[in-house]
Amino acid sequence: MVLTNSSKKQNEPKISRLSAKLKRLRRYPTTLIGFSIVILFLLVAVLGPWIAPYKYTDQNLAMRLQPPSESHIFGTDQFGRDIFSRVLVGSRDVLVVAGSGTSLAIFFGMLVGLFSAYRGGLFDEIVMRIMDVILSIPPLLLAMVILFSLGPSRLNVIIVVGFLYIPMVARVVRSVVLELKTRQFVEAARLRGESSLYILFNEILPNVLPHLAVEASMRFSYSIFLVASLGFLGLGVQPPSPDWGLMVGDARTWFHQARWVLFFPAGAIALLVVGVGFMSDGLRRMLLPGGVSDV
C-alpha cells in the first residue's frame, strides 16, 4: 500500500509533464497529422499482404490500364496488375529499405561521433575531415555512382543509404558530446575512476538519445526521398518489385493515357514523406524544446 502510494507520487510529475507536452502538441496540428500518417503506413506495411486483394505480381493482360473500379479500386497498370495491391505491398518495401538504411547510418554515425568527440585531438580532426569530404559530394550523385558499380539491388540500396548519412549523424552527435563533455556529471564520473567506455555509454549516451531520435526521424525522411529517387532513376530496387519510385518511373510511359497509374504511387510517396516530415518536426519540438525551429 505504502509502496503504491509513493510510486504514485513519483509518477505524478511525470504524468503532468506528459500532459503538458500533449497540450503543446495540440498547438501544432501538423505533428498529430504526421504521427497518424506514419502509424497508418506502418499498419499498412505490416498488414498489407493480407489486405491486398490480389498478388502484386499477378498479371492480366486482358485487364491492362483499367481505370479505378469496384474490383480494382486504384485501377490496373500496363500489365493488368492491381495498383492498390502493389501500393499496399510497396509500403513495406520503402519502409524496410529506408528504415534499415537509416538505422545503419544512425548506429555507425553515433559511434563515429561519440568516439571522435571523446578522443578529440588529431583523431577527431582526421575523422571529421573525412566526413566533410563525403559531405562534399551531393548524396544522390554519390549514391548513383556507388550503385552503378555495386549493381542495383535492395541490399545495396540499404548499404548506400546507411553509408551516405553517417557523416551527418556523426556531426550532430559529435557536437552534442563536445558540449556534454564539459559538464560536471562527466567530470564526477571521471574522478570516481570510471572507464572511458563506461562514461561514454552510461553517462554521455543517454543524454545524446533525444538528439539522436530527432536526427533519426529527419534522416528517415531523407532516406525515403533518396530511395524513391533511386527507384525512379532505375538504380534502386529492381522490377517486378512494387517499389513506389519504380512504379512512378514506369508510369511516365503510361500516364498520358492512364493517369491513375501515376497518381496512386506518387500520392503514396507524397503522403508518407509529408507525414514523416511533420512527425520529425513534432519530435524536435517535444524532445529538444528551445531548438532553432522552436522559435
| Contact set with other proteins (CB under 8 A) | 27-30, 129, 132-133, 136-141, 144-146, 148-151, 221, 224-225, 228-229, 232-235, 245, 248-249, 251-252, 255-256, 259, 262-263, 266, 269-270, 273-274, 276-278, 281, 292-293, 295
Give me the least distance between CB of 82 and other proteins, in Å please: 21
Quote the least distance from Cβ 53 to other proteins, whole Å: 25
Q: Which long-range contacts (CB under 8 A, 24 or more apart) does 181-187 make?
A: 181/117, 181/118
Of the two residues 166 and 180, which places its CB atom closer to other proteins in the complex? Answer: 166
Instruction: Considering the complex, state which of residue 183 and residue 252 has its C-beta at the smaller distance from other proteins.
Output: 252
Q: DSSP characters for 69-87?
A: -SSSTT-B-TT--BHHHHH
CB of 92 to other proteins, least distance (A): 19
Instruction: List the helix and strand counts (H, then E) for the chain.
Output: 12, 0
Contact 241, 223 (CB under 8 A): no
- Give 83 or 114: the residue with its C-beta nearer to other proteins: 83
Q: Which three cell numbers stand for residue 246?
A: 519504380
Q: Does residue 209 contact residue 114 with C-beta atoms inside 8 Å?
A: no
Beta-bridge partner residues of 82: 76
Shortest reach from residue 224's CB to other proteins, in Å: 8
Report the residue number, 73 or 233, with the smaller CB distance to other proteins: 233
Give the span between the Cα atoms of 266 and 290, in whole angstroms: 35
When the beta carbons of 56 and 232 are compared against other proteins, the nearer one is 232
Residue 148 CB, nearest approach to other proteins (Å):
5
